[in-house]
Amino acid sequence: MAREGHAPGSSPQVAAEPDGSRPDGEARLPGQPGANEMLQVVGSSIRMARKRHRMTLQDLADQTGVSVSMLSMLERGVASPSIGTLVSVSSALGLHMAQLFQDSAAQASSPVRRRADQVVIQAAEGVSRRLVHTDVEHDLEMVVNEYEPGTSSSKTPVHHDGMEFGLIVSGTLTVNLDDVDYVLESGDGIAYSSATPHVLTNNGPVKARAVWINVAFRPDGA
């Protein structure tokens, strides 16, 4: 299963594919901060958004299922969250996860989002999320998720506003919705309300790859 709260040095990284590898194992886009700096950026973004919506940490915990202690460490940039936690928290704050890492307006000048321009968020637990396209106006985000064998989108089920639509490209992926397991194979699709507690796990022997579309409903009509 995925692990939350590990050392900042093993935090999610903004990586370039396929170039940009560094001797220390960290990869980054030109001009992008490193992993520890990115944790600070993400934490600051989350804290400002939470205060803008006049939410307490407990309010955010109630909406997402993420513990208050984890949210506090996330805002302070001292803990590495899972991909599922970032999605849940950003959605509850009326944001797409991409907005925590990049300027979504950068892709407005062209309908094409080249792979070289797609930011990859690499979680230390072996789960990566490639941000293909973000449409803030329509509250929609398209991503490609990859799960190494034995990894999950989050340590425990999370929930938030919105809808999710998924298509398995390769491998197998188990989607747990409100304690019910749905095992999906290549070519299978799924759709569900993000308000349903959910966690995605690769119980198979090979890497699982899936295209996911997240439609976020902004809180308080924001």
Cβ burial, residue 182 (10 Å; 0-12/13-18/19+): middle
Phi first, then psi, for residue 161 (nearest 5°) are: -70, 155
Identify the bridge partners of residue 158 per DSSP, sorted by sequence position.
198
Q: Amino acid identity, residue 203?
A: N
Residue carrying structure tokens 């449409």: 135
Q: Is the pLDDT of residue 162 over 50?
A: yes
CATH number of the domain at 8-221, out of 2.60.120.10, 3.40.50.2300, 1.10.287.130, 3.50.50.60?
Answer: 2.60.120.10
Tokens representing 124 are 């230390």
CA–CA gap between residue 200 and residue 168 (Å, rounded): 12
pTM: 0.68
What is the mean predicted confidence (pLDDT) over 48-77? 90
Q: What DSSP letter does each residue of 56-122 carry, written as one string? A: -HHHHHHHH---HHHHHHHHHT-SBPPHHHHHHHHHHTT--GGGGTS-GGGGTT-S---GGG--EEE
Residues 144 and 202: their CA atoms lie apart, in Å, by: 15
For 77-125, the pLDDT digits (tens) are 887 788 888 888 988 888 877 777 654 444 456 788 899 888 888 776 7
Q: Which amino acid does the sequence have at 57? A: L
What are the domain boundaries of the chain? 8-221
At residue 128 the predicted structure's pLDDT band, cuts being 50, 70 and 90, is very high
